[in-house]
Homo-oligomer: A and B are copies of this chain.
């Protein structure tokens, strides 16, 4: 095996993981590099942020996911530079790793559109650490309000402002409204959590802009039913501790969360290739880097338009398909066969809004409410990585469904928000 081609995969999100799986058990050596020791099931991250699931329920150690493949080596490290001429990846620890084939699947992070100072005021949701921080802020806001009501006789307002009406923003807003209405309601004595205001701000003309219009309208209706204020055509113009500026209006915000935009990993910029407005690398139809057929870019970092003219969206199924496709093209090259262009297969879109609420699109079939929600539950339990996770998540959801109690309401880390973060 020592003389087998060496495939280095940077990033163990969906793209990287499925690229590794696609080449596992073939005659190649694979090294998967990630900054974290765990793969995160991102579609459920907002459930950790809203205390419905524990971090370990949606994250699996990369070593344990790939452990059964003897030709896969996992390395906890960070790629900092690519030497495309000499085919080497430089690591944060200083060493370099030579490759025959390289798959860059470094993903994306939050985009604040030039307002990086908003990051501390309105965290985004990309990692387990982000989710724990958001959970801390959301739960702490209720505690601070109760403390003020009890000790100072105030009648504090609780306002949660979620910026961005894509699937993540919709899911977070719905989930916060739900815990305020159902879970928190009976735990507090001085405040009434059901009176918490949840605002979803969307700069465009409708939420879920990537969905068909009827489903956007349905999602908005379902959110309003949960008590969420959905405000469309309203862009954030400024942010201060405890406040969000929307045009001329100053909106009070106990907690502000950011779900308004993503930008590709900065690793895309050092790949010496054209990138699009969001920093995504424009790759060839076979997902390889222009001029470097041995380098592939997949997942949220890649910008690819398939032959049907459709740009693959930044969602898990697209990343999975691209990871698999890159693996197949690498193996075709090794075997001396011609490569095939990537073809995105749209399997539909699903978003959940709350208990028994959601929207789903499968081509011409549009579903809303309970049916969409049941679809969502089934698909997400099925695709969760690891049987143990599936079982534990299933139990947690069943428990939450029947008792209106969510299991992971822990505030870890600081219990005092620093001056200037809550207002």
Interface residue ranges, A against B (CB under 8 Å): 35-38, 54-57, 59, 61, 63-64, 67, 73-77, 91-93, 95, 97, 128-129, 132, 139-140, 143-144, 146-147, 150-152, 186-190, 388-389, 391-392, 395-396, 399, 403, 405, 407-413, 415-416
Query: In the bound complex, do residue A75 and residue B150 qualify as a contact, i.e. CB atoms below 8 Å apart?
Result: yes
Distance between Cα atoms of A409 and B64 in the complex (Å)? 9
Residues of B within 8 A of A395 (CB): 388, 391-392, 395
Q: Given A128-B412, A388-B403, A391-B395, output 10 extra A-B contacts at Cβ < 8 Å.
A: A37-B409, A38-B411, A54-B54, A64-B187, A67-B187, A73-B190, A76-B411, A92-B416, A95-B152, A392-B392
Distance between Cα atoms of A407 and B60 in the complex (Å)? 8
Dominant SS among interface residues on chain A: mixed
Distance between Cα atoms of A415 and B76 in the complex (Å)? 8
Residues of B within 8 A of A150 (CB): 73, 75
Q: Would you give the shortest CB distance from A325 to chain B, in whole angstroms?
A: 27
The answer, among B56, B76, B151, for a CB contact under 8 Å with A143, is B76
Distance between Cα atoms of A93 and B76 in the complex (Å)? 42
Q: Which residue of B lies closest to A78 (CB)?
A: B415
Q: Which residue of B lies closest to A63 (CB)?
A: B187
Q: Which of A55, A92, A188, A396 has the most C-beta atoms of chain B within 10 angstroms of its own C-beta?
A: A55
Query: In the bound complex, do residue A151 and residue B95 qualify as a contact, i.e. CB atoms below 8 Å apart?
Result: yes
Distance between Cα atoms of A150 and B97 in the complex (Å)? 10
Distance between Cα atoms of A188 and B76 in the complex (Å)? 12
Known: A54-B54, A139-B37, A411-B36. A151 touches B76 (CB 8 A): no
Q: Which residue of B lies closest to A136 (CB)?
A: B37
Residues of B within 8 A of A35 (CB): 415
Query: In the bound complex, do residue B143 and residue A410 qualify as a contact, i.e. CB atoms below 8 Å apart?
Result: no
Residues of B within 8 A of A396 (CB): 388, 392
Distance between Cα atoms of A151 and B93 in the complex (Å)? 10
As for how many copies of this chain the complex holds, the number is 2
Known: A95-B152, A187-B61. A412 touches B54 (CB 8 A): no
Residues of B within 8 A of A405 (CB): 64, 388
Known: A61-B410, A151-B91. A37 touches B129 (CB 8 A): no
Distance between Cα atoms of A352 and B93 in the complex (Å)? 39
Residues of B within 8 A of A132 (CB): 412
Known: A63-B187, A67-B186, A188-B63. A55 touches B412 (CB 8 A): yes
Distance between Cα atoms of A37 and B187 in the complex (Å)? 12
Query: In the bound complex, do residue A189 and residue B73 qualify as a contact, i.e. CB atoms below 8 Å apart?
Result: yes
Q: Would you give the shortest CB distance from A185 to chain B, in whole angstroms?
A: 10
Residues of B within 8 A of A413 (CB): 129
Distance between Cα atoms of A63 and B95 in the complex (Å)? 50
Distance between Cα atoms of A366 and B146 in the complex (Å)? 49
Q: Would you give the shortest CB distance from A131 to chain B, in whole angstroms?
A: 10
Residues of B within 8 A of A38 (CB): 409-411
Q: Would you give the shortest CB distance from A387 to chain B, in whole angstroms?
A: 8
Query: In the bound complex, do residue B97 and residue A151 qualify as a contact, i.e. CB atoms below 8 Å apart?
Result: yes
Distance between Cα atoms of A144 and B411 in the complex (Å)? 29
Distance between Cα atoms of A412 and B249 in the complex (Å)? 38
Distance between Cα atoms of A189 and B57 in the complex (Å)? 26
Q: Which residue of B lies closest to A143 (CB)?
A: B76
Query: In the bound complex, do residue A36 and residue B392 qualify as a contact, i.e. CB atoms below 8 Å apart?
Result: no
Residues of B within 8 A of A63 (CB): 187-188
Residues of B within 8 A of A416 (CB): 92
What are 27 contact pairs spanning A and B, CB under 8 A?
A35-B415, A36-B415, A37-B409, A38-B411, A54-B54, A54-B55, A54-B56, A54-B57, A55-B410, A55-B412, A56-B407, A56-B408, A61-B187, A63-B187, A64-B405, A73-B150, A73-B190, A74-B146, A75-B151, A76-B144, A76-B147, A76-B415, A91-B151, A93-B147, A388-B405, A389-B407, A392-B392
Q: Which residue of B lies closest to A97 (CB)?
A: B151
Q: Would you give the shortest CB distance from A75 to chain B, in whole angstroms?
A: 6
